[in-house]
Amino acid sequence: MKTTALIMAGGRGERFWPRSRKNLPKQFLSLTDDGKTMIQLTVERIRPLVELEDIYIATNENYKGLVLEQLPGLPQQNVLCEPVGRNTAPCIGLGAVHIAKKYEDEDAVMLVLPSDHLIKRNDVFANTLRAAVDVAMAGDNLVTVGITPNYPETGYGYIRYNKEIRQSESYAVDRFVEKPDLETAKQYLAEGTYLWNSGMFVWKLSTILKNFAKYLPETAAGLEKIRAAVGTPQEDAVLQEVFPGFASESIDYGIMEKAENIFILPGDFGWDDVGSWLAVGRIRKADEQNNVIVGNVVSVNSRDCVIQGGEKLIAAVGLEDMIVVDTEDATLICAKNSAGEIKKVLEHLRSSGRNQYI
């Protein structure tokens, strides 16, 4: 049976400003030592399971050019452009009907993956996905991959699973839970039956489409109109007409939290959601003072810093726990413990009309 993939690449991350911009969000940036962009790495790591021609990218018209530029060989028609953002459920539904119509095969398996996460051990990841595909093919199962938590993170959703109910290498999911407070997160860790929600899913097209019909019937009806138009001259017109009418809904809330037959595979492959510049300090090689430094930089008595320079000289003197990111037209200097406030810079820029920096 065919294995396909839908990579979701419509996000507009602001947290990597000034490298990320409205026209160049995080998934198209290279944040690792190898120089590859996040979306390139995402495609590369699923290639052991999926042919390039079976990989679909959900994004929007603004980023279509970037997708094709960064993924040479990807068929142009595999780039699905959402007319507007409607969260993950309509995005995944669009991918499902598009692929189902194209292959005329609802038994095909569909991987759903974010485009902006990092994974250290690609071989373990591929094996985990293979096991997930097996579970997905074994029945009408909705399969997800959870990350074994190693600290009580409060920024992620968690998934509780039942160790007693197994389906080959997976476990039955008890429930999805929202981002917890620190106390609750500590409890989750102590209980040992919670995994981080990674946003990675595996299922047969038929399975997810049945669940759309059951839990999001209005969206499902619209998706059927789109499916009928795929490959016809009306395809784009129907998409433009129907898609904006979809209710904005996450796949987690719209389907996963309600559906049955959900299974999860614990993943232990060095996952990082690369949520902010802080992640770059974890991901890239550090020097003896624990600085991650790139570019034309002189560091004097600085430690625990992330400094992303370019050609322009940056002299860092006596810095601790700082993030410095230099680009052609803007320089960010940010205390590590203020990384969450970078979005306030963008608010300031918008309100002062300096949109060229956004």
Q: Enumerate binding residues for a copy of itself (CB under 8 A).
A: 17-18, 298, 300-301, 312-320, 322, 324, 326, 329-335, 337-339, 341-342, 344-345, 348-349, 352, 354, 357
Least distance CB 333 / a copy of itself (angstroms): 5
**In the structure encoding, which two tokens stand for residue 17, read together?**
């400003």
**In the structure encoding, which two tokens stand for residue 119, read together?**
């994974």
In this complex, which beta carbon is closest to a copy of itself, that of residue 270 or of residue 295? 295
CB 302 within 8 A of CB 318: yes
Length of the chain: 358
**In the structure encoding, which two tokens stand for residue 344, read together?**
């306030």
In this complex, which beta carbon is closest to a copy of itself, that of residue 150 or of residue 351? 351
Which amino acid, 130? R
**In the structure encoding, which two tokens stand for residue 85, read together?**
């953002």
Least distance CB 280 / a copy of itself (angstroms): 16
Least distance CB 295 / a copy of itself (angstroms): 11
Least distance CB 102 / a copy of itself (angstroms): 45
In this complex, which beta carbon is closest to a copy of itself, that of residue 226 or of residue 323? 323
Least distance CB 288 / a copy of itself (angstroms): 16
In this complex, which beta carbon is closest to a copy of itself, that of residue 251 or of residue 325? 325
Q: Write out the DSSP string of 200-214.
A: EEEEEHHHHHHHHHH
**Which residues are within 8 A (CB) of 298 and not within 5 positions of it... i.e. 6 or more apart?**
313, 314, 315, 316
In this complex, which beta carbon is closest to a copy of itself, that of residue 190 or of residue 313? 313
Residue 154 neighbours by CB distance under 10 Å? 12
In this complex, which beta carbon is closest to a copy of itself, that of residue 18 or of residue 222? 18
Q: Evaluate the omega torsion of the peptide bond into residue 18 and state whether it is cis, within 30 degrees of 0.
A: yes
CA distance 51 to 74: 10
Any idea which residue has 């009408």 for tokens? 140
Single out the residue of 114, 113, 196 nearest to residue 159, CA to CA. 196
Least distance CB 66 / a copy of itself (angstroms): 23
